[in-house]
Amino acid sequence: MLFNSLTFIVFFAIVLALHYSPLSWRIKKISLLIASYLFYAAWNPLFIILLWISTVVDWHVARWIYNEQDERKRKGLLWLSLATNLGILGYFKYGGFLLENWQAMMASVGIDYQVPEWSIILPMGISFYTFQTMAYSLDVYFRRAQPARSFLDFSLFVTFFPQLVAGPIVRPGHLIPQFTTPHYARVNQFFWGMALVILGLFQKVVIADGFLAPIAEAVFDAKSAVGFTDAWLGTFAFAGQIFSDFAGYSTTAIGVALCLGFSLPTNFRFPYAAIGFSDFWRRWHISLSTWLRDYLYIPLGGNRMSNTRTYINLMLTMLLGGLWHGASWNFVVWGGLHGSFLAMERFCSARWGSLAVVSQSWFRVVMALLTFLAINITWVFFRAADFTTSGNMISAMLGFAPEDAATPLPYLYIIEVCVIMALLLLAHWKMRDTNLEDVVARFPAWLVTAVLAVMTIAIIFTQGTGNAFIYFQF
């Protein structure tokens, strides 16, 4: 089920009616759990079984880990949880990828190995809820948290529909306690939640799908090579599209949860105003970057080891972060580029970070622009369907486009990209040290209401077939 669909509007209205009805809190939690399963089942009912497996295994394993004193047995139980979750994730998401690469490796040594046809469907959002349930087992193992007291609360934590298929990836200590006592939105919280829903859908439906997606598709799906200008414009369009699409989902999810009285963590903090890549990852997909930091980078040794080992830890974390996004070498390259940029930033900061020029405003602006341009280089590998496309795009962006490049983009597309991205960058830069709620509070209520009304009208007029969110594929 998509947020940007009429079906969801009806679904959400029913959920709200049940949540604010005069029923017991336990009955309301059961109705939320059933609603969450229905939300996921609207895509493919059979894959609810995977949710059940993760839920039952991690519920029991975490309790066994907590009660066990023998460290070897505790570690064995943890591996049972990790093997179950990663096994499901590996089979459905990476099985075909591994078979294809095995065939290529065999062919390189002269063995004609025929790969069996892989027709397994990738369950929607499997990477998100897998990482969420793994965090629960890991937190209990490291004694950061106690097991949930209620199986119902834990089940709802795993399947809570606003963030089930595309995050934010919520930590158990943040969400499970909210289910233990009745939660309802106050009037101002409810209206703020609805405002976030409108803003998120506006980002997705109007900006991402309505304006920027056709431009990115025209460039990245072109049948012939594109020129220098079009390559950059198409990449800028995708940069705006993926932010508006994914931040739009997160904003909508946070708004939906808030209407029910629940809090979800912020997942984006104006990332295109980042000064450096470490700053970017403190602002982009925050729930994933902090997950990778706490459950991968720090256990590997983080920055407590030698400089060489720290660089290796950075690269391993970002390579696996890239592979988390999809079973493709393009995603591995994307993660590798981010790891390389983070390592170079760390190297430069250690040597020249104390210079006076670093704190000057003009230098910060220049670094922010360079960061944004470098991020766009990495987006090419994220968006391109294969290495041939990404290679052609990078060549064009570096000024090596062939003379027979494709016909330039229409002037309307060029204007749309330039205007939207200029406004987006300006908004991110102006708001980089604040938050949306504080900014909105500075304006009169009538103006905020008018803006939300215009957004709602734009959503209604722009809404087409209801394109899925980009991160649903992960």
Among 135, 440, 437, 39, CA closest to 266: 437
Q: What is the DSSP letter of 334?
A: H
Q: How many CB atoms lie within 10 A of CB 423?
A: 12
Calpha distance 192→186 (Å, rounded): 10
Cα–Cα–Cα angle for 262, 162, 66, nearest 5°?
70
- Are 36 and 160 in contact, with CB atoms under 8 Å apart? yes
Structure tokens given for 201 = 């859908």
Structure tokens given for 371 = 């960061």
Burial of 460 (0-12, 13-18, 19+ CB in 10 A): exposed
Per-residue pLDDT, 193: 95
Tokens 């948290």 -> residue? 145
Low-confidence ranges of the chain (pLDDT < 70): 115, 118-119, 404-407, 464-474
Calpha distance 346→349 (Å, rounded): 5
Per-residue pLDDT, 402: 77
Calpha distance 379→335 (Å, rounded): 10
Per-residue pLDDT, 473: 63
User: 19, 285, 325, 338: which is the annotated catalytic residue?
Assistant: 325
Residue/partner pairs of 325-333 with CB below 8 Å, 24 or more apart: 325/127, 325/382, 325/474, 326/93, 326/473, 326/474, 327/93, 327/94, 327/96, 327/97, 328/97, 329/387, 330/381, 330/382, 330/384, 330/386, 330/387, 330/390, 331/381, 331/382, 333/381, 333/390
- Are 267 and 167 in contact, with CB atoms under 8 Å apart? yes
Q: Go through 336-350 and write b for each residue having 16 or more CB atoms within 10 A of its CB, e for each that does not.
A: bbbbbbbbebbeeee
Tokens 């932010």 -> residue? 243
Calpha distance 121→111 (Å, rounded): 29
Calpha distance 269→258 (Å, rounded): 18
- Are 95 and 120 in contact, with CB atoms under 8 Å apart? yes
Among 207, 290, 193, 189, CA closest to 246: 207
325 among known catalytic residues: yes
Burial of 290 (0-12, 13-18, 19+ CB in 10 A): middle
Per-residue pLDDT, 168: 92
Residue/partner pairs of 3-9 with CB below 8 Å, 24 or more apart: 3/197, 3/200, 3/201, 3/204, 3/249, 3/252, 3/253, 3/256, 3/469, 4/201, 4/204, 4/205, 4/463, 4/466, 4/467, 5/466, 7/42
**What torsion, rounded to 10 degrees, do the Cα atoms 368, 371, 377, 381 define?**
-120
Calpha distance 237→208 (Å, rounded): 9
Tell me the pLDDT tens digit for each residue of 311-350. Answer: 999 999 999 999 988 888 899 999 999 999 999 999 998 8
User: What are the CA-CA distances from residue 118 to residues 86, 92, 122 (Å)?
Assistant: 19, 10, 11
- Are 11 and 1 in contact, with CB atoms under 8 Å apart? yes
pTM: 0.91
- Are 55 and 158 in contact, with CB atoms under 8 Å apart? yes
